[in-house]
Structure 1
Amino acid sequence: MPMASVTPVLSLEHPDQHVYTTESVSLLCQGRNSSSDWTYLWFDNNQGTPRQSADPSLPSYNIRSASLTDSGTYWCQIQRGEEVSGLSNSISLDVIEPPRPLLQPLSQPLDVFPSETLELSCAVQGSSAWIFNWYRNGQQISENSHMSLNGEGSTLTISPAPQASGEYSGSYSCRAQHKNRSVVSGDSNSVRLQVYESKPKPLMTQSPSVEEVYVGEPVNFGCGVDVSSGWEFLWYRNGALLPASGNKFNITSVTPADSGTYHCMARRGKIIFDTENSETRTLRVSERPVPSLALRSPWQDVFVSEEVKLSCGVQNSSAEWTYEWFKDSQAVQMDDSVAQSSDGASLAISSASDEHRGTYSCRGRHRSRPVSTKTSDGLLLKVYGIPVPSLRRDTSWPDVFPSETVALTCGMQNSSDWIYTWHRDGRRLEVHPDLSFGPDTSSLSLTPAKPEFSGTYACDGEHKHRRVKTKSSNQLHVTVHESKPKPLMTQSPSVEEVYVGEPVNFGCGVDVSSGWEFLWYRNGALLPASGNKFNITSVTPANSGTYHCMARRGKIIFNTENSETRTLRVSERPVPSLALRSPWQDVFPSEEVKLSCGVQSSNAEWIYKWFKDSQAVQMDDSVSQSSDGASLAISSASDEHRGTYSCRGRHRSRPVSTKTSDGLLLEVYDQIPRALLTQEPGYEDMYAEETVSFSCNVNVSGGWEYLWYKEETRLTTARSRHTIMSVVPANTGAYRCKAKRGQTNALQSDLSKSSNIRVRVRPMAVVVLLNGWSEAFSTDTLVLRCVVQESQYTWNYTWFREKEEIPLFHSDQHLVTPQDDPQQSQYTCKGVRTGRPSYSTLSEPFKTKNLLLKRRLLLSISGVLFFGIIFVAVGCIVLRATRKQAEESTNLEEPDLFLTMAELKARDDAPCPLAEYITEEQLIRSAEDGEDNGAVCSETTPLPISSPEDQEGTSESLGHADNGGLTSFK
């Protein structure tokens, strides 16, 4: 086999392609039928360059101690002489460093005390094919009573920690060894452990470090262990556990309930490890003191510029505190007029002013701790400006008349510690017989008033106990007139005639002084009114009269003169008339409406306003009014214009209105009306001679004219009813109507719905003679029958003789005898019924003339014919017998030429010998000529006299005698 067709197989003698450094690896190259004369070529990564380190005589390539440089892809070839095989399959080697395990503590902290437990773990990330060895300070450790390993050594447990710390404290690490291959990892990271010999004792702190504290003061405790970590702290007061955690226990604002003895303790671990208790701390909580505030100056209520002194202090411990001052809860600002001592225990206001007014308080602040006393009770300091006396008039008016009194008072509000001095026109008043002063000169009386007392008065005051003097009071002017005034009376409106409901206001004024009470009079009688105005808000006829007024005042009554008089005449308010100026009060869209409003005999004094349903009418493009409102026009009515209209006049110059006019209801329909067409009777199928009446109606408004149409043809009728008294087929068709009204731009309704009628011809009645031919020989009675042709209805019948109704007879048959009708009358009939059609047409008349003559002549002819037929029959028999012999000799058969009477009667097509004699002319002609008309008859064949012509020729009929047999000719 040529070598070129040989491909060696390369195999790896190792657990997998991942090789750790220092491991041994062998590659084996095998060809089919291996021979010792073969050589082996090895390649890695670069196929063109053989690997020089390989032994060409060996089929294996061995790596004794793998390194990172041995990573790569390997191939091999086999060579014999000049022949070289193809390349083998490739094998990739990945040479890696052994993994470094990770050491992690499974419990915290890493320094422990006797009886605590500590766990460490060692693991190779992502692989479980390793076992582990442990080292402390570089020396391998083994299990004992305090140290244990799990099955593969991945977890080291120290439990419980021994008393001797030196043996177990140190730096711990681990190494990993492969379970299936001789590979050892490098050292893991190291963890430092510390094992203590005894329990720690926490250190407890307190701030502030005092035994006594005040309510509201903050107190902070701290608890710490200076070795290890992971501690949880427990707090106790008076031996009871507190609901607190953490190494700090803070009381933000102490209360008496916080008093007691405090200590702390620390613990940690799943298996609880407690430290010793800390030292104790005692806390006593007292209420914060309240400083005392005192007034050191004489008066708590001071005037401007007076001095004020205050002091503040805490009893028995004032030296521990400094003080701060407050006015109205705001800190007092020190300035030139306000000062305090170095520790704030005193406050001085050298010159009080308005800004110092308020409630003062103080509060102590501890010199060494952030705690304050409570705020002292407040002290209200009232600072008054030097008051100004108030001068007031005790009488009600500034100017008076002779005989009246003037009284003045000067005083300080809420104070009687003043004496007063009086001035008029700037000069001090001295004692005078016409002047009188009250106690402390606080009042002045001028009585009786004199013109010389006129002037400007003022007063001032001086304090009885302090060196304080006021400024001058306000000024009051007093005027004393020489004579009585006369009131001026006014009226609005200033007219003599007013309308009921109109307001009228009277005024009465005195242009000097004040304090007047006014009296009002009508027709000299005092009215129950007061004040300088007498207003009548809505006058009535009772308010008509002559009015005047007068004024008075004072306890000792002082009256003015009477005013001028005013006359008032009250008339009823007019009612305007509202009129419709357009034809209709109810209109349709687009129709015009015109209204007018006016007051009779005084229309020019008023302007008018329009209302619809009590709301003012708004003008727009379709609604307008005249300049004075006397007319209102709606150019094109619509739905919004529907309502009750009214109007009211308003006086052109006075605030008075007329009454509202009567209302006028304007109905505006939503749409153009449709004419309503009705038919009476309401049948679509009508019968000739019936009466039909159409009624056209627009059931709203009025003034309508009606237009009638049959199909598209305009009819001449203009009234609301169109009647056809006797219909004929030409009246068949569809009838419609509509309405219109107005001349210009006439409004037309919509066409009504159509009403259709179809005029039918009434069923026809005919008179039929029921007597047969056999009866013509045996009776004198003619039987008539009334038949309504082509009708399926059930009829009753009415018979007429000579156009007069035969009463009480409604059968379809009527018997006529010579005795009943010797005049041979004309008979007619018609059918009647309760339904429609209620009657048929009247039949054509049937006349009964010559009834007896026809019967006798008919019997004579019948007898001749009877015997003639017998004779003929006998002759026929003889002839038949004579010819029979000849027929027999010739054997020829001949048909019978003659029929017997029985054979004739048996045949339907036998000739009727009486048919040609039914009329008078035929009977005579038959008697003269003896001709046969060839008619076919039977015994019961009725006489054919249904037509008028036939009836005239056969007016007589056979009748039945009383005995029912044949009667002889008479």
Structure 2
Amino acid sequence: ETPKPVLSKDPPGAEIYTEENFTLSCGFGGDPAGWEYLWYKDTQGAALPNTDSSRTDGSSYTISSAALSHSGEYWCRAARGRGPFYSEYSNSVTLDISIYRAVENLVRIFVGVAVLIFLSVILSDAFWRRLRRIRMYCTVTGEASVLVFFGTLRAAQSSSGVLLTADPPWSDMFAGDTVTLTCQVTESEGWTFIWTRYTQGRVTQLHGSSGEGGSVYVLRSVTEKNSGMYQCEAVRGNNREFSNFHNITVWASPPQAVVVTDPPGSVMFTGETVTLSCDIKGSGWRYSWARNTQGRLESLSASSTETQQKHTLHSVTESDSGEYMCQGERGQNPKIQSLPEVLKLNVSDDKPKPVITHDPPGAEMYTGERVTLSCVVGGDPAGWEYLWYKDTQGTALPNTDSSRTDGSSYTISSAALSHSGEYWCRAARGRRSFYSEYSGSVTLDISVPPQAELTVQSGWTEVFPTERVTLRCEIQGSSTEWMYRWYRDGQELPVGKADSSSGNGDTYTILSADQSHTGLYTCRGQHKKRGFQSTICSAVKLHVLRKIPKPVITQNPPGAEVYTGERVTLSSPPQAELTVQSGWTEVFPTERVTLRCEIQGSSTEWMYRWYRDGQELPVDKADSSSGNGDTYTILSADQ
């Protein structure tokens, strides 16, 4: 079993801060000798190299001064030998490096008051591990005295009292916009402020104006160069506090308004309710709507929403046709305007009538076939839902196990006789469901597939060894539309070197018969284009005899010596012919079956013997032979 190392970290806690040291250790149970260790971060592909701040040393990986970039998921793996042989990857350890935060609580005292000066710095466990002893400085009002204190501090969760806000508060800005960033400290005064912008790996120091308890940084007429993450740092003595981040993305040009309609499409119909919606990238936009009426812009009222983002037309008529424009603006000084969007709306008084078709397109459809009805609305098909009806236009068809609505199509996965009938479709769209006209009707007439018919071209089903036998399978109608499959005793027959099928498979030829070809033969057709199968044919039993018969020749007069002038007759006994009076060889239990044996010429001169599977049949109570024995009757057939 391939060994799997165990990965651990030191310090073991969840919190690790920038500039801390920490070590990852990789270990085995059992014998650790001879192993070298590989380290991986965020992916198990390429091992980590040694760098200035992180180094591999035996079974440990040490980061001497943690940075935010060291955050991630780590694994280790061991290798030894020349191969080398690798262990499995260890469990993963996730490092989350964060920036240290401290909170100071300052209490003022005055001269002449005998009180203990108390100053507490709330630190995290991780920071306290680094600073075991902390020196604290306090100033007493009125006298410049300094108190030095050494001691142990209680660890608690860090917090920040510096808040960065933006006016306007949007993240997406456009060239020419003005934004004011404000940094405020909620506790006391005496702070100085540093502004920083982080962008694509670069750090830029900025200079804002400071006032009582805060600082302001103003970006006037912004450009793309002003994009980035902004942060404020408050500094007082040895204490440094960091604000939250504010992201600003500056776009070079005003955004384009985008107008869409509900229901979708550029053609509407009389009576529909149409809602125009306008969307502009970013926040804080004030929307306005106008309509172009014969070259004159007419302002439109919008919905009651504060942003006026939508304009609704109730029960439209042809007079509502025209060009509609949306534009947005935001800010005051300067005021930024979006690029307008113009939508051309056409209202038609003609209610649409969909067209229904079916596939396969022919008039004949059979059980088991897949049938698809399609419904199409002319013009703009967007936004329509389709309803389907059978035999009546009252209630729409539901989805079932065998038939399902999918967009503009209705599919019957396996047609049955019950699917026969008259079908319509119609379309609906909009929240209040505007309906189209009903389509024309399509009639489906589902019937049972035609039955194949099997014949033996020679006419007889008993054949001799080495004989050539050809079977033919036919389906009434166009035989070129079908492919055929052949079966013997229920098993499909392959086309091989010994047995061959020719043309489109409607004939199956046994080149040289033998005992293995004895059996019940059936066939069925499969439609070339539509894939459905015909009904299987009635079986034909082919029996290959054990050997080829040898004729017997007799001579009259008998004897080996014949003299010149004598009359000699050579004859061969006639062959008996067996027929089934009913004409079919497949019978059902209890049926009466009569077999007839005939010899050409005078049948009264012959007596007959009957055999089954080579054994002579006696005459008993169940089976009887009548008259002179030329017929054999099975009174009640069984297995």
Bigger radius of gyration: 1
Structure of higher RCO (CA pairs closer than 8 Å, 6+ residues apart): 2
TM-score relative to the length of structure 2: 0.47
TM-score relative to the length of structure 1: 0.33
Q: In proportion to residue count, which structure has more helix?
A: 1
Q: In proportion to residue count, which structure has more strand?
A: 2
